Amino acid sequence: MQAPAGSGKTGLLTQRVLRLLAGVAEPEAILAITFTRKAAAEMRARVLEALHAAADQNTPPESDYQRQLWSLARAALEQNTKRGWRLLDNPQRLRMMTIDALCLSLAQRMPVLSRFGGPLGVETNPGALYREAAGAALRHASDPDGARREASRRVLAHLNGDVNRAEAMLARMLSSREQWLRHVVDGQLERAALEQAVEAVVRESLHALRAAVPRTLEREVCALARFAALNAPEEKATQLSAWRERIALPDADASMATAWAGLANLLLTQAGTWRRQVTKREGFPAASSGANAQQKALFKEMKARMLTLLERLDGDAELAERLDEARRLPPTRYEASQWEVLAALGQLMVMAAGYLTLSFAQREAVDFAEVSLSASRALGDLDNPSDLALKLDHALQHILVDEFQDTSHAQYRLLERLTAEWTPEDRRTLFLVGDPMQSIYRFREAEVGLFLSLFDVSGRTPGRLGGIELHPLQLTVNFRSRRAVVDWVNYAFVSVMPEEADVERGAAPFSRAACFEPPGAAPDPLASADVRLTTDAQDEARQAVALTQQALADFPEGQVAILARARPHLAAIAAGLKQAGIRYRAVEIEALANRPWILDMLALTRALLHRGDRVAWLSLLRAPWCGLQLADLHLLAGGDAGPRGCITEKLARWERLAGLSDDARARLARVWPVLSQALGASRRRGRLRDWLLSVWRALGGEACLRDARELADIDAYLNLLDQLEEGGAMPQEALLTERMASLFAAVDDGPDVRVQLMTIHKSKGLEFDCVIVPGLSRTPYRGEPELLQWAERPSRDAALLLAPIKRVGGDEDPLYAHLTRLERQKGAFEAGRLLYVAATRARRRLHLLGQAPALGESGEGIPANGSFLALLWPALTDEAAAQSLIWPEEPDADNLEPLDPLDPPSVPLQQLAPALSQTLARLPACWTPPPLADDVELPEQSVTASVEPDAEPVAFDWASETARLVGVAAHGALRRLAEVGVDAWRDQGGGAAQAAIERQLRALGAPHDELERAVAKCVAAIENCAEDPVGRWILDPSHEAARSEWDLTGVIDGKRQRMVVDRTFIDAEGARWIIDFKTGAHEGGDPQGFLDNEAERYRAQLEGYARLLRRLEPQRPIRVGLYFPLMRGWRHWIPRQNDGALP
């Protein structure tokens, strides 16, 4: 079923599920699949809402739709009662899920066959893993294995030795491996199959070209081409040689490609337009050049006939496009050098995929592509289904798929496997719903051609999915939008979208909608649709703000959405809304990675973890909490002599550093002690997140923020570090950069916020009273060339087209160029669909904004190719649409109020230049943390604002640097062990934990010659805890109020005291335990005496912890203890109660 925007698709799906529930033995016999969790939740909510309403209401509603819904729900409830389902109490029996959730459940049910292995998590940001696997594969350039070495070397030579570029390209290939990996047999690409796919493309292209030639002109075309072949100069005659004896059009066969290319060169210019004139160069000599009167007459006649033919063909854009494509068709066979590179790339990709699998196993997580591949393996082949496939075949009676236009090839094959055994006699149903006009997710491998290949609204050629014949249905009524909007969309998009479907190129034709209007309803006077052209980006932003204000006034209860093709298109508008005092909800728009306070926090992180990072240290010292002037930074960086030594070395002797300004000395006197103490700590306790937060607050970071939203940004960054750190080590740079790109500012969720800013992709499925679409004149970023261009054809065999990127400095590969053009064509068609999605979100008002196009040589406006405005321009320049096109007026310079460029989110730099201020935002040099209030009440979890030590430091002179690092790694491992539990850790296996410990110790700088022994100590500590009854008891996650590395601050003896408790919980008798882990070991005799001495050594520290915790729980008994994992040693006692010193 094709269900265009606003056609009531969700309501229809709800009705169908209810109808099916009335006829199945179990609700699990119905499977409803969609592509987002939000859509699945909405479908489930709609069904349950209908069931609850029918259960509570005994009389049918008045409206036709509600009455039908009520009737279907009542029938479903009768079956529910009859079969004892208790659906209202057990809604989880309704199987409505995303396609990814379905794949995950299939893979987990057959862990061996799917090679999924066990309960792995799903990594939603696997980019760093792709780079890691790609790099591992490329390192085979020095491998002793000859085949692998040659594959890596050949690929690197092809890219001129650019390892970074090769790694990035190979990493991008891994993200789409479910498309190409199945075409690799025994680690090799199948040359014959790939060449057959190219031949099929050439054959189909020529078939379409032959069909596009008007039948009434075939004879004339052949006669004129034959004449030209006989009379053209030698270089042209060679191109037309196939036409010398031809009296009919060539067959649509790959062997005839040269003949068709020659005809294209005859009829078209190099630009792909119809020729206006022909000369002797094209094979039509001037009449005067004839040798005799008869020949002169012939030359004159043939030239006139040729010009008449060209005149008749003028305007046939489809034929011109097909001819132009014919002369650029690729050869059907790979050249030897081309295949050598392609074969090497195939081997390299398989190696990279193997390394990626190893990375997944180590991290106990996979990506969605692996989930899809695992689900496919779990179901087996079409000819050899697995037991799971047979079981599902018996259980499933009905499958519904929502948003089918966004199905990928892998998901399409999954549906084929799920329905492989279905027969017409089963009375089972497959219901596919979607709208090809709204297919906008090619970046997620969506292939609209799959929908188009199955859907023929005429019904003359029913589609088939596997062995199932599909019957087309089409909805046409728009229940969402007012007539003004529907009529404008109907008119404009006839020229934006193609007239005919093209499966290969992903061209979905436009389908007009009918506006639903209740009987007797009056036209909506506030409904409208228009395109407004502006003078520049600032003018466009001002108009967007003004239109937003008008819509908020016209629709007091309504919602306004500003939808953009890309996030940067909204930056200036967001600044304008903020300046106008209009609250807005920006959905994943304002990237945290570009915000100054996040960049400062990132600099602090890098500086503290990498003392030699000069850029980070200079950024830290320039940040508002310090705010050194550029001259002072220049001096610290080495002055005119250039970089010399670490900046921290100069900071350590800043008091003796000549040339520093008095202002810098005052600031460093406050800041350097904080940084020095952070760098010199014998062992950083707790999470990286908490440590950085402590240092940042001590520096005055929180005092540099303006509001709670900026503090929320800091919290989001720290939470990301918490997810990525491995025992306190800095995350990999590539991983941190990738994950930072997905961090966005918190949205304003206030109930009175009526304006939303989002990308068009995010708006899919939503609707608003007023929609504003800016950036019509902007063009999209095309991206970097791919290592391989490939296309999996939307047909039953899903043949793969594959071509390598050209050699650096070499000629372009014809097949690569063909696939690149195909991708651009698909992208152009999708751009029209993206604009359609934006326009159809509007209920009552639609405004599209763009900058007036520059005037061409003809004096007419020419929009930039690839822009939305270029797509709309043919419709807008028609007289019938003139009233909806509003040209810019000359701005009144006296009344223009510039947007505040310094108010984030920022606008482009060139727009900021006039307003940039040289004022340095920073804390006063004399700033100090505010004093603690006398009547402060300590919360349960109070975080420190200083980095004071907890109590008298305990000396660790006996501990080597490696022993210190072992302690850091072991504490992190024990924390993770406490989170998952000993039994779960054993089930998962210790190999991944050991690998993580090794990576962490490497990152912490453990010496290579001591690394193996350090890892062994950490593993021994974990295994001892897992086997020792005391260790298992301490780490038991089921304890009440259990926490690991609990960071607390309180006031003792009038001073702020901070502590990090390794492990705390409340035991079965209600006592609070405070336990510290000690990873040291005793090599000599009398181990019990050593443990007693250690207990005395740390008694004051632990009892200080107890004093502070007693403030939180004054009535609860407290116990303290030391646990030594490497010795399985345990010392514990009841702390003294001398609380009189507490304020």
Instruction: Provide the total of helices (H) and of strands (E) in the chain, helices listed first.
Output: 41, 26
Residue predicted with more confidence, 877 or 562: 562
Strands 788-792 and 800-804: antiparallel
Please determine, looking at this structure, whether the domain spanning 592-740 carries the CATH number 1.10.486: yes
Are the C-beta atoms of residues 630 and 621 closer than 8 Å to each other? no
One-letter identity of residue 527: A
Q: Quick one: pLDDT at residue 920?
A: 74
The pLDDT tens digits for 996-1022 are 788 777 766 677 778 888 888 888 888
For residue 620, pLDDT beyond 90: yes
Residue predicted with more confidence, 680 or 322: 322
Torsion of CA 258, 263, 269, 274, to 10 degrees: -150
Mean pLDDT computed over every residue of the chain = 84
Are the C-beta atoms of residues 161 and 294 closer than 8 Å to each other? no
Q: How confident is the model at residue 683 (pLDDT cuts 50, 70, 90)?
A: very low
Q: Which of 504-508, 768-772, 1091-1095 has the highest mean pLDDT?
A: 768-772
- Whether 592-740 and 961-1141 share one fold: the answer is no
Section 237-244 average pLDDT: 85
Q: Quick one: pLDDT at residue 882?
A: 55
> If you ran DSSP here, which 8-state letter would residue 1118 be given?
E
Q: Quick one: pLDDT at residue 910?
A: 37
pTM for this one? 0.77
Section 899-912 average pLDDT: 38
Which residues have a Cβ under 8 Å from the Cβ of 144 and sit 6 or more positions away? none
Which residues have a Cβ under 8 Å from the Cβ of 751 and sit 6 or more positions away? none
The pLDDT tens digits for 266-301 are 999 999 999 999 999 999 999 999 889 999 999 999
Section 413-425 average pLDDT: 88
Q: Quick one: pLDDT at residue 951?
A: 38
Are the C-beta atoms of residues 1003 and 946 closer than 8 Å to each other? no
For residue 987, pLDDT beyond 60: no
Tokens encoding 1002: 């490497």
Q: How confident is the model at residue 402 (pLDDT cuts 50, 70, 90)?
A: very high
Residue entry with tokens 């209202």: 88
Please determine, looking at this structure, whether the domain spanning 9-120+367-475 carries the CATH number 3.40.50.300: yes
For residue 950, pLDDT beyond 60: no
| Four-residue CA torsion sign, 327, 328, 333, 334 | positive
Give the DSSP letter string of 387-456.
HHHHHHHHH--EEEESSGGG--HHHHHHHHHHTTT--GGG--EEEE-B-GGG---GGGT--HHHHHHH--
Q: Is residue 1084 classed exposed, middle or buried when 0-12, 13-18 and 19+ CB atoms within 10 A define those classes?
A: exposed
**Calpha distance 160→1122 (Å, rounded):** 59
Q: Quick one: pLDDT at residue 934?
A: 56
Section 935-955 average pLDDT: 41
Least confident residue range of 859-863, 1041-1045, 1052-1056? 1052-1056
**Calpha distance 156→807 (Å, rounded):** 10
The pLDDT tens digits for 781-822 are 877 787 778 888 776 555 788 888 888 777 788 888 898 999
Tokens encoding 775: 């950036």
**Calpha distance 711→597 (Å, rounded):** 9
**Calpha distance 354→767 (Å, rounded):** 44
Section 677-691 average pLDDT: 69
For residue 1141, pLDDT beyond 50: no
Q: Quick one: pLDDT at residue 548?
A: 96
Least confident residue range of 598-612, 631-645, 1065-1079? 631-645
* Residues tagged in the binding site annotation: 3-10
> For the chain, what percent of residues have pLDDT higher than 90?
40
Least confident residue range of 9-23, 48-62, 580-594, 853-867? 853-867
Containing H/E element for 602? helix 596-609
Q: Convert 815-853 to b/e letters by CB count within 10 Å (16 or more is b).
A: bbbbbbebbebbbbbbbbbbbbbbbbbbbbbbbbbbbbb
The pLDDT tens digits for 708-729 are 888 888 988 988 888 777 655 6
Strands 429-432 and 398-401: parallel
Delimit the domains of the chain by residue range: 9-120+367-475, 125-193+334-366, 215-315, 528-589+751-893, 592-740, 961-1141
Distance, CA of 63 to chain centre? 42
Half-sphere exposure of 395 (CA within 13 A, CB side): 13
Q: How confident is the model at residue 163 (pLDDT cuts 50, 70, 90)?
A: confident
Q: Quick one: pLDDT at residue 777?
A: 93
For residue 253, pLDDT beyond 80: yes
Strands 30-34 and 95-98: parallel
Are the C-beta atoms of residues 129 and 359 closer than 8 Å to each other? yes
| Nearest-10 crossing angle of helices 163-174, 127-138 | 130
One-letter identity of residue 594: N
Tokens encoding 727: 């025992």
Closest to 36 in 3D by CA, of 402, 455, 413: 402
Gyration radius of the chain's alpha carbons: 36
CATH number, domain 961-1141: 3.90.320.10
The class that CATH gives domain 528-589+751-893 is alpha beta
* Residues tagged in the binding site annotation for ATP: 3-10
Length reported for the chain: 1143
Section 814-831 average pLDDT: 91
Helix/strand/coil for 1057: strand
Tell me the three-class secondary structure of 466-521, residue by residue: CCEECCCCECCEECCCCHHHHHHHHHHHHHHCCCCCECCCCECCCCCCEECCCCCC
Q: Quick one: pLDDT at residue 232?
A: 87
Closest to 206 in 3D by CA, of 102, 329, 305, 113: 329
Closest to 539 in 3D by CA, of 785, 896, 797, 234: 896
Q: Quick one: pLDDT at residue 1111?
A: 80
Strands 398-401 and 365-366: unpaired
Least confident residue range of 84-98, 848-862, 1063-1077? 848-862
Q: How far is CA 262 from CA 220, 246, 280, 328, 759, in A?
A: 16, 13, 16, 11, 46
**Calpha distance 973→1014 (Å, rounded):** 13
Half-sphere exposure of 965 (CA within 13 A, CB side): 24
Tokens encoding 38: 């939000």
Closest to 788 in 3D by CA, of 132, 158, 138: 158
Q: How confident is the model at residue 962 (pLDDT cuts 50, 70, 90)?
A: confident
